[in-house]
Amino acid sequence: KQEFNKRPTKISRRSLSRSISQSSTDSYSSAASYTDSSDDETSPRDKQQKNSKGNADFCIKNIKQADFGRREIEIAEQGGKGPLCLNVYVVCLCVCLQVLMETLSALGAQCRWAACNIYSTQNEVAAALAEGGFSVFAWKGESEDDFWWCIDRCVNVEGWQPNMILDDGGDLTHWIYKKYPNMFKKIKGIVEESVTGVHRLYQLSKAGKLCVPAMNVNDSVTKQKFDNLYCCRESILDGLKRTTDVMFGGKQVVVCGYGEVGKGCCAALKAMGSIVYVTEIDPICALQACMDGFRLVKLNEVIRQVDIVITCTGNKNVVVREYMDRMKNGCIVCNMGHSNTEIDVASLRTPELTWERVRSQVDHVIWPDGKRIVLLAEGRLLNLSCSTVPTFVLSITATTQALALIELYNAPEGRYKQDVYLLPKKMGMIIAVMCRASNRSFYLITLFKFCCCLFFKLALIFTANVKNFALSVLNKSC
């Protein structure tokens, strides 16, 4: 019986690396973290590490990568200062969102950080944060057990009570709710940015178990239009190219879901010459797909002929074993939705199927008759796992999250009840004004300066003076 959870040995890794050309390796490894090969085989959980100040409250791949990570951070980072008394758990780790963490810290927040995706952590960035004194528990390529262990280490610390949660996917919120109910009751607010996490919050609210107010950032205008649409429009091509070197022209692609993520994916693939099919159950989104010139199909109608299958619904079991059994040889299967449940990967871990790792985050799943499909990132989020994402749009999302945290923390008693709320549209409008102001390029310092000002003048957002306030800050920033 094949063991699927066993880590690759040194021999298998070396033999694999010899089978891939250096140029081919370079095409995908730039998305991965800088690594020290001498540490590849040692689990971070088994290592004792300290930063230059003697602090050991972190668990990362290699603290020696801190200088390299700091150089990456400097590309995207701009600061802001001001008092903000938050204890925040932040769950997500990539270059631009770590800027959010450092900004929150500059505003006075105390942050502890775990990853939202086992493949999305940039090890060198995590090292730079740990060297800077942050409590970070994340590394690229965690196992499922490592993932939950990191979240627990982030949460379970003596003498420290969070008052805010910033989550991406809902795993941290779920963990605290289940394992630390007393801690959960003392939380002042939750900010959630993914559709999966928002669904989980709505489930808690519907069951009457959500005892704190929560802000739904995923459905905010800035998140939907910039992060979900424009970011995915670029990163879907980047992720597929880095992992498979596929040529898109003439390829038949089916995109499952035509929300904002699906729209971005379809637009990018169509522009590259692909023949794009769309599956969608929402009537309005389905009509939009038709009006945009895409053929609306059922998945079982085209599954035998397509070259690439992309899921972006946020649902579960969208591509099940039955469909994968019928796929043609060489079909590429990947996920652009947040949750790793859209592709039924568990059904592929059976004795009759052979798994072959051919690249970082690329597996061939081989059937007894020799047919194989190409599975990317084991069904997890493709762009965070296998590529980079534009810092421009993530900067907008980070600013949206910061505003949501400040709003929930400073809201007068009674404004928000124990329910899930949409981010006020006026906040999104102000962010858009700030983005529009920087025509040549997007500077985070402008937005985060505004966050600092907003902390002191937040009440103005909900008055008739909001327009004048935004324009005055805009003039000062410019």
Annotated binding site: 259-264, 280, 383
Give the number of residues written for the chain.
Answer: 478
* In contact, 157 and 113? CB cutoff 8 Å: no
Interior/surface letters 149-177, b for 16+ CB within 10 angstroms, e for the rest: bbbbbbbeeeeeebbbbbbbbbbbbbbbb
* Residue 372 DSSP symbol: E
H-run or E-run covering 210: none
Copy the structure tokens of residue 448: 């985060």
Q: Which amino acid is at 383?
A: N
Residue pointed to by tokens 């992992």: 243
> Cα(238)–Cα(382) distance, rounded to whole angstroms?
10
3-state secondary structure of 89: strand
* In contact, 227 and 394? CB cutoff 8 Å: yes
Give 189's strand partners.
164
In sequence order, which ranges of 79-217 are alpha helices (DSSP H)?
A: 95-106, 123-131, 144-155, 171-179, 181-185, 195-206
Q: Which of 133, 131, 175, 139 is nearest to 156 (CA)?
A: 175
* Residue 59 DSSP symbol: B
Copy the structure tokens of residue 417: 């009840």
* In contact, 94 and 384? CB cutoff 8 Å: yes
Q: Is 55 exposed, middle or buried (0-12, 13-18, 19+ CB in 10 A)?
A: middle
> Which residues, other chains included, contact 408 with Cβ-Cβ below 8 Å and sequence gap of 6+?
164, 188, 189, 190, 191, 213, 215, 416
Cα separations in angstroms, 353 against 40, 334, 345, 371, 478: 27, 18, 12, 10, 59
Q: Which of 252, 261, 274 is nearest to 234 (CA)?
A: 261
* Residue 333 DSSP symbol: E
* In contact, 4 and 142? CB cutoff 8 Å: no
Residue pointed to by tokens 């021999």: 11
* In contact, 115 and 105? CB cutoff 8 Å: no
Q: Which residues are annotated as a binding site for NAD(+)?
A: 259-264, 280, 383
Copy the structure tokens of residue 463: 């008055």
> Cα(117)–Cα(446) distance, rounded to whole angstroms?
29
